[in-house]
Structure 1
Amino acid sequence: MTSIAAYSYALAAVCFLVLGVPMMTRWRGRNHGRALTAACLLSAAWAAALGWAASRMVMWSAMTGVLEILRDAGWSVFLAGLHGHYRDPRSRLPFGLRPSWFAGGCLYVLMLAATLAGYWNLPLFARFGLMPTVAAHVVFAVYGMLLVEQVYRNKSAQERWAIKFACLGIGGMFAYDFYLYSHTMLFHETHPDVWAARGVVNALTVPLLAVSVGRSKSWSTPLAVSRRVMFHSAALFGSSIYLLAMGSAGYYLRFFGGSWGTVMQVTFLFGALVLLAGILFSGAFRSWLKVFISKHFYRYNYDYREEWMRFTRTLSEPGPGLAERAIEAVAALVESPGGVLWKRRDGGVFEPVAYWHVPAVSAREPDASPFCQFLESTQWVVDLHECARYPERYEGLALPAWVESFPRGWLVVPLVLQGKLFGFVLLQNARSPVKLNWEVIDLLGIAGSQAASYLAQQDAANALMVARQFESFNRMSTFVVHDLKNLVAQLSLMNANAERHRDNPEFQRDMQETVSYSVQKMKLLLQKLGRAGRPENPEPLAVDQVVRQAVALKAAFEPRPRLEIKSAGLYVLADRERLERVVGHLIQNAIEATPRSGEVVIRVGASGAGVLVEIADTGAGMSDEFIRERLFKPFESTKSAGMGIGVFESREYIIELGGSLEVTSKPSHGTTFKVVLPLYQEETQAIEQAA
C-alpha cells in the first residue's frame, strides 16, 4: 500500500507542477495569477513530500503537516481573491497585508500552532495524540468548502460558467480532506486505502482547474465596495465602539461611585451621547472621515461616477442661482466650505458675481493683468499656501493684493472655456487637510471647464431671450410698416385718379369709403401698438361679410376684383381685423400680379367640414421652385417695394386658426390661393359649453 500511495502522490505532484510552472510566466499580469500559481506550486510540494514520506512508510510528519496547511492556505487565498472583495482596499498593515487577509492569516497561524503541537507531542496534547492536528485539518477543510460555496453563489450566470470547474475541483479536494480527517477523528485511526487514494483524487482535479484557466477572462467583474457604504459603515462601527466603551465606563462609574454612582453614570452617558451627536453632525468630522477612507482604503481618491453625478445634479438643478451652485459643486470636490466666483464682463474686467458662504467682496481684476494672463496661459490650479512657501514653483504669477487678503483663501480654480479664461473660483481652506496630488488637480481642472460651459450656456440663453424680445418687437414693427405701405398705396392710387374722376359721384363715394377705411385702419394699428403682447379676442365671423369688406376696399384698383358667394352664412372663429388683413393681403398680391386686362376672382363656399376662400388671378404666375423656396419665406419679395411678409403672415395666421393655405400656379397662366378654415357651428359650440 505504501508503494501505491507513493505513486499516487507523485502523480499529483507532477500534475500540479505541470499546471503551475507555465503560469509563472504567462499569468504574471492576470487577475488572481499569482495566487493560483502559488497554490499549484504549494500543492505540488505537498504531494511530493507525502510521496517521499510514503516511500519511507511514514504516513504523518511535521513537514507534511506544515506543507498541507500552506497548501490549504494557498487555495483559500485564491478563493478569497476570486470572490471579488479584495481588489480595491489598500491596507496600512505591516508588509502590505490586507485587513481581511490578516484576519484569515491569524486563524491559520493558530491552527498551525495546534497542528505542530500535536505532531511534536507537546505535554499539553500528549494524551490526545494527533487529535488537535486532525481537528485543525477538519477546520481547514470546512473553511475551504465554505469559501467555494460563497464564491460560486455570489457570481453571475456568466461568471459561474467560467469558474464552475475550478470550484468543483477545489471543492472536491476540500471535501475529500473532510472525509479523510472526519473518519480519522471518528475511528481514531487513518484508513490506509483512503489515504493512498488521496493523491489520485487531487490529480483528477487538475484537468478541471485547467478548463477554468482557459475561461479566466470571465472569472470576475469589476465589483467594488461603494464609498458611501464604506463611509456609513465606518461611522456606524465607530459609533458602536464608542458607545460600548462609554457604556463600560458608565458601568464602572456606577459600580465604584457609591451613593453618587447612578448620578455619575447618567450624567456621563448623557454627555457621551451629546458628544457623539456633535461629532456625527460635524462637517469637519465627516470631511475628515471621507478623506481618511479614500486615502487608506481605495486606490483613487474619488469615486468618479458618484462625484460626476453629484456635480452634474448640482449644476442642473432648476431655478436661479447657477453661479452659486457652480461654486458649491467645485468646492465639494475638495471639502471647501465656501468660495467666490469671478466672471468676465463685456468691458474686459473680471467681477465677482456669486458668493457661497463667504462675505461679499468688491475686488475687480482686468483681463490683461498678470494674474489673469497666468491663469489663462497655464490653466493651473493655484494653491495659495504653496505659492506663499515656494513662489519659485509659480514663476510669472503675481498675486493681486485682494487675493492675499482674502480670508482663509486656499485655491484659485480657473474656469476655462475653449482655451480662454471665462472666470475663476477662489475657495477657502478645506474642513480637513486634503493633499493636492495630480488626481485632485486634474479633477478640479475638468470640473472648472464643465462649470464654465454651464455658465456660458446660461449667458447665451439670456442673450437669446433678449434677442427674441427685440425680434418680436421688430417683427411687429415690420407688420405695421407693411400695413402702412398698403394704406399708402391705396391713398396714392386714389390721389392719382382724383384729378381725372373728381366729378364722378361713384368715384367720390369710393374715395370717401377708402379714406374712412384708412383712418379706421390707422386707429386699429395705434390700438394694436398700445396693446402689444395682449391676447386677441376671437369671435364667430361670417366669412362672406369679411371677404366682402376686403374686396370693397380694393374696388379702386385695376383690375377690379370680382366676388362670387357660393355659400353664405358660413362662420369661422377668428379675429376680424387679422382675418380681414390676411384676405386683403392675398387679394392685393393678386391684383399687383395681374395686368389691367386680366381678371381677379374671389370665391367663398363650403369645402367638406370647412370654409373655402379661393383667390384666383390670370397674372404672371410663379414657378414651383419659387413657391417651394421663397414664397413663404419672410423678407423675400419679387416686388421692388415689397416687404416679403404678407403671404408669410397670412399662412401663419391661417395655420394658427387650424386651417390650411394651398397654392397652385403656372408661369404666365396665373395663380390660385385656396384658404380652408374650420367651420364654426353654434349648435356644436353650445353642446360643448353645456358639457
Structure 2
Amino acid sequence: MDNYFVILPISGAALCFVLGLFTFFRDVRHPLNIGFALGMVSLAIIEAGDAIVLLSNAERQIALPGIRLTLIGQAILPAAWLLFSIVFARAGYKKILSRWTPVLLGTAIVSLFFVLMVGSSKFISISLSGLFILGPVGRYFYIYLLLGLVLNLVHLENTLRSSSSFNRFQIKHVIFGVAAILAFFIYLSSQALLFRTLNIRTIPVISVVILISTTMIAIFIVRHRLLSVDIYISRYVVFNSLTVLIVGFYLLTVGMITFGIKSLDLPFNYFFTTLFIFISILALVMLLFTDRLRRKVQLFINRNFYKHKYDFREQWMETIEKISTKMSLDEIQRTIIEMVSETMGAKDIRLWLYDPVSRDYLITMDKLVAANRHISRTHPLVQHMKKHMGPFMINEFLNNRHNKDINVLKEETKAVLCAPLVVGQEIIGFILQGDNPAGEPYGQDDFEILKAMTTQSAVQLKNIRLTQDLIAAREVEVFYRMSSFIAHDLKNLTNSLSLTSQNARYNMDNPEFQRDTINTINNTVSRMKGLIERLSTIPKALELKRENVELGGLIRNAIKKIALPGTKSVTITEEIDGVPPVYVDPQAMETVFLNLLTNAYEAIMGEGEIRVRASESHGNANITIADNGTGMSGDFIKTTLFQPFKTTKKGGFGIGIYQCKTIVEAHNGKFEVESVEGKGTSFTVRLPVGEGIRSV
C-alpha cells in the first residue's frame, strides 16, 4: 500500500487526541466529558496502531504490534462510548447513570479482558502469506464489539428521537458523527467475522471516516457548546428497535453480497468499494431521520400495529411532566409549540395568548404582519372558537365562504388547523397549525391528542397568570403600606411646621427663636425631601441604614419636634441618661419615638403628663413612653391596635402604631403595650444592646 496513506491515520490520531483533551478539560468531573474524552482517545489509539501498520511496509514484526495497538483501541470503544451515549444531552443524567452502572462496569471488565488477551495467539496471528488471522478469542471479541456498538447506537438514537426540533438541530451533527464512526466499526466487525481475517486495506478508509466524522463533531461542539443540552427521553419500544433493525438488515445484506462476490468471483477495488458502502449507509441513516420520512414511517407503524394513532396515556403524562415545571409565559409557549410539533409532526405552528391589557390575542414569538400579530376578540375565528371550544379544520369552518380576515391569516401562517386553549369557558389562547408533513389529513385522533395537550397547557398558563396577578397585588399592597407610612410621617412633620408657625407669631423678634426656627425648618424640609424620594422608589421591604446611636440624644430630638399647641397643659418628664448606644437606623427610630410621643399627647384631654424613661436590663435597652390619658380597652389592643388603616382618631391614618411595631421588629426588637381605660397607656420599646455595634 502507498506510504502517503500514512498521513491519514496520523492526522486522525492527532485530531481525536486534541478534541478529547479539549472536551475533558472543560469539566474534568462530568461523566459526559470523561466518556467523550475516552472515546476520542480510543480512536486516537486505533489510528496510532494503523499508522504503525502502514509504516511497517508489511514487515510482520512491526505490523503485528500495530495491529495489537489498534485492537486495544477497539476494545475500549464499547465502554467509552457507552458512558458518553447514556448521558449525552440527557436531563437527569445522574439517575440514568446509576441505573446503567452495572452494565458500564460489566462492559469495562469485558473490554479490559480483551485488552489483556490482545497479545495471545488465540486472539490474532499472522499467516505465512502475511494475513492477520483471527483466533477464537478474536472472533468472540468482534461479536462483543458488534453488540456493544449496537447498544451505543440505540442510546444515541433514543436521544435524537426524544429531542425537540430546536434541540435536535443542536445535537444531531454530534450524534451523526459519533454514530457514523460506530456504524463503520460495526461494518468492520461484520467483515472480520465473515472472513475471519483483518484486512489492512481498510486502514485508509477507517482514517477518512474518522477524519470526516470527528471534524463534523469538533466544529459543532466548539461552535455551539453542545455538551450542555438537556433532553427528556420518551420511550417508544418500536422506534427504539429501529437501530437493531437497520443493523440486522445490514448484516443480512452484507452476507448476501459477500456470498455473491465469492460465488461469481467478481473483481472490485477494496478502498473505493468500502468507502462507497460507508457513504451510502451514512446517507441512508440521514435520510431515515428526515422529518417527512420519519413521520410517514411513524404513521405506517401506528396505523398497522396499533389501535390508536397515539399513546394517549404516555402522551398525557409527558405533557404534564414538561408543562408543569414551566413557570414563565415564554418557557411555556416554547414548550407547547415543541410538544405539538414533536407529537404531530407539523412545522408551521403558532401560538396566540390573550393579553388582559389590550384585550386582544397576541403572538410574540413570530414575525407576522401587524394585523395578524394582534387578533381581536371579535375576530370571526375567535367567535367560532367560542362556539366550538375544540380543535377544528379552518377550511371546514369557512365552508366555501369568503372571509377576508381569516383568508389573510391563513395565507400568511399556512394554517389548516385551529386549536383553542380553554379553561372552563375562557379561551386564553389558540394554536394555528400547518399541514401534516406526511401528507395525511388530520383526523379524530389528532383532534383528541391536541385537545388533551392544549387543555393541560391552558391550565398551567392560567396558573401562571394568577400567580403573576397575586404577585402584582402584593406589590400594590406593599406600595400602599409603605406610602401610608410616609404619609403618616409627612403628617407629623406638617404638625411640627404648624407649631413653629404658631409660635412665630409671638416670638418673631427673638434672635434665639429665629435660629431655632430656621434649624427646625431646614431639618423638617430635609426629612420631607427624603420621604418624597422614598415614595418615588419604594422598596419591597423596609430598608434600614444603621449606625451607632445614643438613645438620649435621639429621644430629645423627637421631643423637640413634637407639636404642643397651647390648648393643652402637658408636661414631659424624662429619665433617659446612662443607656449604652444601640445600632439602629436613627431616622427610623426617631420616627418611632415621635409617633409614640404624638399619640401620648393626643390621648391626654386638658392637663396631663408624658413620662419618658430609658433603662438597660437583660441585654436590652428599654425605652418606655407613658401617659395618663384616656387609655385603651383590652379588646381594642387585642383586635385593632396593631392592624394598619384602623383608627379611632378623627383624621388619623391608623398607621402610626403599626409602623412603630414594624420598625422595631425590623431591628430585632420588641414592641409592648400596657393600657387601662381612663388611666393611661404605656408603650415600651426593647432594643438589643451590642447587636451589630461597630467601633468608630
In the superposition, the TM-score normalised over structure 1's length comes to: 0.58
* Contact 2:596–2:625 under 8 Å retained in 1: yes
What displacement does 1:383 show?
A: 2.3
Q: Distance in 2 between matches of 1:380 and 1:519?
A: 64
Partner of 1:559 in structure 2? 570
What displacement does 1:586 show?
A: 1.5
1:546 to 554, 564, 572: 554
Partner of 2:281 in structure 1? 273
2:450 to 444, 464, 482: 444
Q: Distance in 2 between matches of 1:554 and 1:348?
A: 52
Partner of 2:460 in structure 1? 454
In the superposition, relative to structure 1, how do residues 383 and 248 fare at CA in structure 2: closer, same or farther (>3 Å)?
Answer: farther
What displacement does 1:564 show?
A: 1.4
1:677 to 662, 665, 687: 687
Partner of 1:45 in structure 2? none
Q: Which amino acid aligns with 2:242?
A: A
Alignment partner of 1:590 is 2:596: no
2:428 to 407, 414, 422: 422
* Contact 1:554–1:561 under 8 Å retained in 2: no
Q: Which amino acid aligns with 1:247?
A: V
* Contact 1:257–1:264 under 8 Å retained in 2: no
Partner of 1:3 in structure 2? none
Q: Which moved more, 1:659-668 or 1:261-270?
A: 261-270
Q: Distance in 1 between matches of 2:370 and 2:306?
A: 39
* Contact 1:376–1:421 under 8 Å retained in 2: yes
* Contact 1:665–1:672 under 8 Å retained in 2: yes
2:666 to 635, 656, 663: 656
In the superposition, relative to structure 1, how do residues 474 and 564 fare at CA in structure 2: closer, same or farther (>3 Å)?
Answer: same
Alignment partner of 1:340 is 2:347: no
Instruction: Tell me the secondary structure at the aligned position of residue 598 of structure 1.
Output: strand
* Contact 1:571–1:681 under 8 Å retained in 2: no
Partner of 1:241 in structure 2? 248
Partner of 1:401 in structure 2? 407
Q: Distance in 2 between matches of 1:409 and 1:242?
A: 39
Cα deviation, 1:385-442, whole Å, max 9, x if unaligned, reads 6668xx49xx999981124314542321111223122221001223436675544423
Q: Which amino acid aligns with 1:650?
A: C
What displacement does 1:276 show?
A: 3.8
Q: Which amino acid aligns with 1:539?
A: E
In the superposition, relative to structure 1, how do residues 510 and 542 fare at CA in structure 2: closer, same or farther (>3 Å)?
Answer: same
* Contact 2:348–2:413 under 8 Å retained in 1: no
Q: Which runs of 4+ in 1 moved over 6 A?
A: 358-361, 395-399, 501-510
Q: Distance in 2 between matches of 1:524 and 1:658?
A: 24
Cα deviation, 1:268-293, whole Å, max 9, x if unaligned, reads 42134213431453334444444444
In the superposition, relative to structure 1, how do residues 636 and 413 fare at CA in structure 2: closer, same or farther (>3 Å)?
Answer: same
Alignment partner of 1:483 is 2:477: no
Alignment of 1:67-106 (within 5 A): none
Q: Which moved more, 1:633-642 or 1:449-458?
A: 449-458
Alignment partner of 1:638 is 2:648: yes
2:386 to 376, 381, 391: 376
Partner of 1:614 in structure 2? 624
What displacement does 1:237 show?
A: 3.0
In the superposition, relative to structure 1, how do residues 347 and 553 fare at CA in structure 2: closer, same or farther (>3 Å)?
Answer: closer
Q: Distance in 1 between matches of 2:248 and 2:585?
A: 79
Partner of 1:78 in structure 2? none
Instruction: Tell me the secondary structure at the aligned position of residue 490 of structure 2.
Output: helix
Instruction: Tell me the secondary structure at the aligned position of residue 615 of structure 1.
Output: strand
1:325 to 328, 335, 340: 335
Q: Which amino acid aligns with 2:574?
A: L
What displacement does 1:339 show?
A: 0.9
Q: Which amino acid aligns with 1:270?
A: F
* Contact 2:348–2:415 under 8 Å retained in 1: no
Q: Which amino acid aligns with 2:315?
A: E
Cα deviation, 1:196-236, whole Å, max 9, x if unaligned, reads xxxxxxxxxxxxxxxxxxxxxxxxxxxxxx98251344313
Instruction: Tell me the secondary structure at the aligned position of residue 588 of structure 1.
Output: helix
Alignment of 1:12-51 (within 5 A): none
Q: Distance in 2 between matches of 1:620 and 1:478?
A: 26
Cα deviation, 1:528-558, whole Å, max 9, x if unaligned, reads 4577559543112222322222123237455
* Contact 1:333–1:444 under 8 Å retained in 2: no
In the superposition, relative to structure 1, how do residues 266 and 539 fare at CA in structure 2: closer, same or farther (>3 Å)?
Answer: same
Alignment of 1:453-472 (within 5 A): 453-465=459-471, 471-472=477-478
What displacement does 1:325 show?
A: 2.4
Cα deviation, 1:619-648, whole Å, max 9, x if unaligned, reads 222223322332222222211221122212
Partner of 1:581 in structure 2? 591
In the superposition, relative to structure 1, how do residues 524 and 264 fare at CA in structure 2: closer, same or farther (>3 Å)?
Answer: closer
Cα deviation, 1:119-168, whole Å, max 9, x if unaligned, reads xxxxxxxxxxxxxxxxxxxxxxxxxxxxxxxxxxxxxxxxxxxxxxxxxx
Q: Distance in 2 between matches of 1:313 and 1:584?
A: 56
> What root-mean-square deviation, in Å, do the aligned CA atoms of Structure 1 and Structure 2 show?
3.7
* Contact 1:559–1:600 under 8 Å retained in 2: yes
Q: Distance in 2 between matches of 1:490 and 1:327?
A: 63
Partner of 1:29 in structure 2? none
What displacement does 1:337 show?
A: 2.4
Partner of 2:316 in structure 1? 308
Partner of 1:627 in structure 2? 637
* Contact 1:251–1:265 under 8 Å retained in 2: no
Q: Aligned residues: percent identity?
A: 26
Q: 5+ unaligned residues in a row in structure 1: which ranges?
A: 1-225
Instruction: Tell me the secondary structure at the aligned position of residue 365 of structure 2.
Output: strand
Cα deviation, 1:51-99, whole Å, max 9, x if unaligned, reads xxxxxxxxxxxxxxxxxxxxxxxxxxxxxxxxxxxxxxxxxxxxxxxxx
Q: Which amino acid aligns with 1:671?
A: T
Instruction: Tell me the secondary structure at the aligned position of residue 445 of structure 1.
Output: helix
Cα deviation, 1:227-252, whole Å, max 9, x if unaligned, reads 82513443133212332234235425
Q: Distance in 2 between matches of 1:284 and 1:299?
A: 23
What displacement does 1:571 show?
A: 2.5
Q: Which amino acid aligns with 1:425?
A: I
* Contact 1:254–1:262 under 8 Å retained in 2: no
In the superposition, relative to structure 1, how do residues 242 and 588 fare at CA in structure 2: closer, same or farther (>3 Å)?
Answer: same
Alignment partner of 1:599 is 2:605: no
Q: Distance in 2 between matches of 1:480 and 1:653?
A: 13
Q: Distance in 1 between matches of 2:620 and 2:311?
A: 63
Alignment of 1:519-534 (within 5 A): 519-525=525-531, 528=534, 533=539
Larger Cα-atom Rg: 1
1:282 to 267, 282, 290: 290
Q: Distance in 2 between matches of 1:516 and 1:375?
A: 66
Q: Distance in 2 between matches of 1:348 and 1:424?
A: 14
Q: Distance in 2 between matches of 1:499 and 1:361?
A: 67
Partner of 2:142 in structure 1? none
Q: Distance in 1 between matches of 2:403 and 2:422?
A: 17
Partner of 1:258 in structure 2? 266
Q: Distance in 1 between matches of 2:403 and 2:313?
A: 34
In the superposition, relative to structure 1, how do residues 229 and 444 fare at CA in structure 2: closer, same or farther (>3 Å)?
Answer: closer
In the superposition, relative to structure 1, how do residues 406 and 464 fare at CA in structure 2: closer, same or farther (>3 Å)?
Answer: same
Q: Which amino acid aligns with 1:648?
A: Y
